[in-house]
Amino acid sequence: MRLARYLAHGGVASRRAAEEVIRAGRVTIAGQVVTDPARDVDEKSGVEVDGRPVAPEEREVWAVHKPAGVVSTAREPGGRRAVTELVPSERRLYPVGRLDADSTGLILLTNDGELANRLTHPRYEVPKTYAVRLERAPSGGDLERLRGGVGLEDGPTAPAQVKRVGEREIEITISEGRNRQVRRMAEAVGNRVEALRRTRIGSVDLGDLESGRSRRLSAEEVSALRAFPGPDAATGTLWEDSAP
Question: Active-site residues: which are they?
Answer: 100
**187 contacts: CB under 8 Å, gap ≥ 6:** none
Say if residue 230 is exposed, middle or buried (CB neighbours under 10 Å; 0-12, 13-18, 19+): middle
Q: Are 35 and 22 in contact (CB under 8 A)?
A: yes
**24 contacts: CB under 8 Å, gap ≥ 6:** none
**84 contacts: CB under 8 Å, gap ≥ 6:** 73, 74, 75, 93, 94, 95, 109
